[in-house]
Amino acid sequence: MPEKTTEEELKQRRKDVNAAISSHAIEGITLHSTTLKILEEYAKGSISLEKFNTLMDNAEL
């Protein structure tokens, strides 16, 4: 059974995801909708970092 993500971890994930999205936006780079969906699932704690990496590696953009 997967470990429950703590509130602190969720806050850090949200901070990291927002920073990634913002830094791309500053550079004028629009992230693909699939990428944004995967980032959001990770930020919400719905998927682990391992699953996030797998989804990103296999995403068809």
pLDDT value for 2: 56
Question: Would you give the end-to-end CA distance of the chain in angstroms?
Answer: 31
For the cut 90, the answer to whether the pLDDT of residue 1 exceeds it is: no
4: phi > 0 → left, psi -120 to 50 → alpha, else beta; which?
A: beta
pLDDT in tens, 3-60: 688 999 999 999 999 999 999 999 999 999 999 999 999 999 999 999 999 999 999 9
Q: Where are the chain's structural domains? A: 7-54
